[in-house]
Amino acid sequence: MSLRETEEMSAEYILAILETDCRPVTGKQLHDRNSDYRFYPAKHSGEILTIDAMLWDESKRHTIKRKPLLSMWPSTQIVSECLNRSVVARNWVLIAVTQSNVAQTIDPDTSMTLSPLPELSKNFFEVGYDVVDISGLSALANIGYTTQDILQLALNPLRVTAHGLIADLQDAKKFAEFASNAAAEHAPFSPVRVLATAANEPKEQ
C-alpha cells in the first residue's frame, strides 16, 4: 500500500505532536556518525521528518527559543494550542497518527485514550511512516544497527519518501517487527503515519 492509498486509514488518532523551530536531522549526518553502528539504515541523505524530538538539530534553529516540544498522547486542547501557535510562529509541526484510539504508556499498567485527528489545514502534507517505541524514539533514525542487521535489511531494502521516512505502511510494519527484534529493550515498535507543516518544506540534499 502506497502513502497515497489511504483506504485503510478510515479513522486516525494522534499518538504524538511535535513543535519546533529547529531544522531536521539529515540522513547524511546520521550516516557520517563515527560509530560501530549505523543509526539510519536507509540510503536517503536529505532531511528526515522524524517525530523523534531528540534528532532535531538544535544548532540550526531559526530563532533560539526552546527545545523541540514533543507531546505524547496529547489531549484535544494541547493539539489545538499547538496548531494555533504554529500558525503565528510558522514553526515546524509534525503529527504522528495511528489507527488505534488507545496507546500503551511507559507504565505497563497505564494506557491512554488518544484524541481523534482533527481536520487539518491544506498546509499539512504527508511525509511517510516513522516507526517508534512507546516513548516516541524512532527505530528508523535513533537506533544503532550492527553490520549483520544492515546485511539482513539489504535483502529487503527500505523504500523511503522524499522526506526520509518509510513510503509504505506494510513495509513500515515489517520494519517495526525487525526493529523490535534488533532492539528488544525498546520493543514493541509501531508504525505511525506522519503529517507535517512548516514555513518551508525541506529540500533533499
pLDDT > 50? residue 176? yes
Which residues fall within 8 angstroms of residue 29, CB to CB, at 6 or more apart? 57
Residue 74 is predicted with a pLDDT of 94
The domain locations on the chain are 13-197
Residue 131 is predicted with a pLDDT of 97
Residue 164 is predicted with a pLDDT of 97
15 grid coordinates? 499518538
- In terms of Cβ atoms closer than 10 Å to its own Cβ (0-12, 13-18, 19+), residue 133 is buried
3-state secondary structure the chain: CECCCCCCCCCCEEEEEEEECCECCEHHHHHCCCCCCECCCCCCCCECCCCCHHHCEHHHCCCCCCCCEEEECCCHHHHHHHHHHHHHHCCEEEEEEECCCEEECCCCCCEEECEECCCCCCCCEEEEEEEECCCCCECCCCCCECHHHHHHHHCCCCCECCCCCECEHHHHHHHHHHHHHHCHHHCCCEEEEEEEECCCCCCCC
CB 171 within 8 A of CB 178: no
Residue 67 is predicted with a pLDDT of 80
Residue 175 is predicted with a pLDDT of 96
pLDDT > 90? residue 22? no
Residue 6 is predicted with a pLDDT of 45
- The pTM for the full model equals 0.87
CA distance 156 to 14: 29
CB 14 within 8 A of CB 79: yes
Task: Identify the band that residue 68 occupies on the pLDDT scale cut at 50, 70 and 90.
Answer: confident
CA distance 156 to 41: 11
In sequence order, what are the beta bridge partners of 26?
47
Give the percent of the chain with pLDDT over 90: 57
Mean pLDDT of 68-90: 84
pLDDT > 80? residue 106? no
Residue 87 is predicted with a pLDDT of 66
* Largest Cα span, the chain: 47
CB 117 within 8 A of CB 101: no
Summarised one tens digit per residue, pLDDT across range 191-205 is 999 999 975 554 444
Summarised one tens digit per residue, pLDDT across range 26-51 is 999 999 887 889 999 999 999 999 99
Task: Identify the band that residue 163 occupies on the pLDDT scale cut at 50, 70 and 90.
Answer: very high
